[in-house]
Chain A
C-alpha cells in the first residue's frame, strides 16, 4: 500500500487522451508504445496526479465522487501502483517516513 505522504506525479513519458464522455481514456508510454485503457474514475485520478500526496489524492477524490466504497483507499492505491509498475506514474517516497 502506498504511504500517505508519497508524492504522485504523472510520468513525462506518458501521454493521456480522453475517449468519449463517460468512457475514460487511454494512456500511451512513449518509450514502450504500450497503451492502457482507464475508466472514468481512473481518468479522474490521472487528472489529479500533479505532485499530490496519496492522502491528498484520496481526499480530493472523496470530495468529487459519491458512494465511495469501504475498499476505496485500497482500490485507488492498487490502481496507482499498477500505473507505477507500468512506468506511467512516478512515486516520490517521503524520506521522513510514514505519516500517522
Chain B
C-alpha cells in the first residue's frame, strides 16, 4: 500500500488519549487527555512464552495475530504490521520500524490501543459509532455486516463519525464513548458505488480505500454520551425494523463484540462490563435493507429514531 504524504501538524487525541510521539499521525482529533506514548521499538520483542491468544482475523486479508504476555507488557504480532510491544500500565506502545505510516497508525488503533483501554477500565466493542444530536449511536455486528458502509453514509449526510471499528465505551452516568481514529476503511466496491462527502482518499488497495475524515468534520476528542447500541442485520423489506433486545439476549449479542483474554480474571471483567453496559444502554436489533441506494433512507430513519 502506498499513501499520500501525511499531513503535518500538532498531535491530537484518540480514544481519550493525547498522543505523545515523534512519529507522524493523520487520524487524530483535537483535544486533551492522559498521554499515550508511541515510539519506534529499539528492538523487536522476543517472546519466550507461547501466545496467550492466537487467531486469524477474517476479512479481505486473513491476518494472523499472536498475543504474548511478558510480565507487565504484551508482545503482539500482526501480519503485515510486525511486532508491537504494549505496556498498558504506562501506557506506551512500541511500534515496528519501517512500516508504512498509515498502515502503522491503523494497526496502533486496533489491538495495541485496545489493550491500553482495557487497562484503564474502559470497554472496547467491535462497533462503528456516529453522533446524532450530541448522542453516540453504536453500529455493531460481525465482520462484513456493513458497519463501515453505514458509517460512511452518515458522514456523507453531514453527521460525525466517532469510530469505524473499535468503539471505546466508558461506563458511568451517563455512559460515554471516546471518539476513535478519524478515518474509514471502505471496501472498494462500496467506495465505487457511493459518493462519500467528508472523506479524502489517503490510500487505495486492491480491495479497500482508506479515507481520512477531513479536519472540519472530525470534531473534538471529547467523550459523547451513548444513546443506544444497534446490532446490524439484513432485511428483505423496504423499511427498517428496530426491535429492542431483552437484556439477557443483549449480553449474548454484545459478548462476541467484546474482547477478553482467556483468563478467569479477564473473562469476569468482560462479563461484568457487558452486563453493566446492557443495564445502562438500550440495545436494538436493526433489520434494514442492505443496498447502496437505501443507505440515505436508513440514515434518515435512524436520525428520526435517535435524534432529539
A interface, CB within 8 angstroms of B = 15, 17-20, 23-26, 28, 30, 33, 35, 37-38
Q: Is the CB of B248 within 8 A of A23?
A: yes
Q: How far apart are the CA atoms of A30 and B275 in the complex, in Å?
A: 15
With beta carbons under 8 angstroms apart, the residue of B255, B272, B279 that contacts A19 is B279
Of the A-B pairs whose beta carbons lie under 8 Å apart in the complex, a sample of 7, sorted by A's number, is A15-B271, A26-B247, A26-B248, A28-B271, A30-B267, A33-B267, A37-B249
Contact with A along B239-275 (1 / 0, CB 8 A): 0000000111101100100000000100110011001
Asked if B278 is at the interface (CB within 8 A of a chain A CB), the reply is yes
Q: Is the CB of B267 within 8 A of A28?
A: yes
Interface SS of chain A: helix, strand, loop or mixed?
strand
Q: Is the CB of B248 within 8 A of A15?
A: no
Q: Is the CB of A24 within 8 A of B271?
A: no
In this complex, what residue of A is CB-closest to B264? A30
Number of contacting residues on B, CB 8 A?
Answer: 15
Q: How far apart are the CA atoms of A47 and B271 in the complex, in Å?
A: 18
Residues of chain A within 8 A of B271, CB atoms compared: 15, 17, 26, 28, 35
Given known A-B contacts A17-B275, A18-B275, A37-B251, A23 and B246 have beta carbons under 8 A apart? yes
Given known A-B contacts A28-B267, A30-B264, A19 and B275 have beta carbons under 8 A apart? yes
Q: How far apart are the CA atoms of A20 and B245 in the complex, in Å?
A: 13
Residues of chain B within 8 A of A17, CB atoms compared: 271-272, 275
Q: Is the CB of A19 within 8 A of B248?
A: yes
Q: Is the CB of A26 within 8 A of B275?
A: yes
Interface SS of chain B: helix, strand, loop or mixed?
helix
Q: How far apart are the CA atoms of A33 and B256 in the complex, in Å?
A: 11
Given known A-B contacts A26-B275, A35-B252, A35-B255, A20 and B247 have beta carbons under 8 A apart? yes
The 7 closest A-B pairs by CB, nearest first: A37-B248, A17-B275, A19-B247, A28-B271, A23-B247, A26-B251, A30-B264
Q: Is the CB of A30 within 8 A of B248?
A: no
Given known A-B contacts A17-B275, A19-B279, A35-B255, A24 and B264 have beta carbons under 8 A apart? no
Q: How far apart are the CA atoms of A24 and B271 in the complex, in Å?
A: 15
B228 CB, min distance to chain A CBs, angstroms: 15
Q: Is the CB of B279 within 8 A of A15?
A: no
Known: A17-B275, A20-B247, A30-B268. 16 other contacts (CB 8 A): A15-B267, A15-B271, A17-B271, A17-B272, A18-B275, A19-B247, A19-B251, A20-B279, A23-B246, A25-B248, A26-B271, A28-B267, A33-B255, A35-B271, A37-B246, A37-B248
Residues of chain B within 8 A of A19, CB atoms compared: 247-248, 251, 275, 278-279
B174 CB, min distance to chain A CBs, angstroms: 16
Q: Is the CB of B251 within 8 A of A35?
A: yes
Mark out the residues of chain B between 272 and 308 whose CB falls within 8 Å of any chain A CB in the assembled complex: 272, 275, 278-279
Residues of chain B within 8 A of A26, CB atoms compared: 247-248, 251, 271, 275
In this complex, what residue of A is CB-closest to B272? A17
Residues of chain B within 8 A of A15, CB atoms compared: 267-268, 271
Q: How far apart are the CA atoms of A39 and B67 in the complex, in Å?
A: 37
Q: How far apart are the CA atoms of A56 and B62 in the complex, in Å?
A: 55
Q: How far apart are the CA atoms of A30 and B184 in the complex, in Å?
A: 35
Q: Is the CB of A37 within 8 A of B267?
A: no
In this complex, what residue of A is CB-closest to B271? A28
B4 CB, min distance to chain A CBs, angstroms: 43
Residues of chain B within 8 A of A37, CB atoms compared: 246-249, 251-252
B241 CB, min distance to chain A CBs, angstroms: 23
A93 CB, min distance to chain B CBs, angstroms: 28
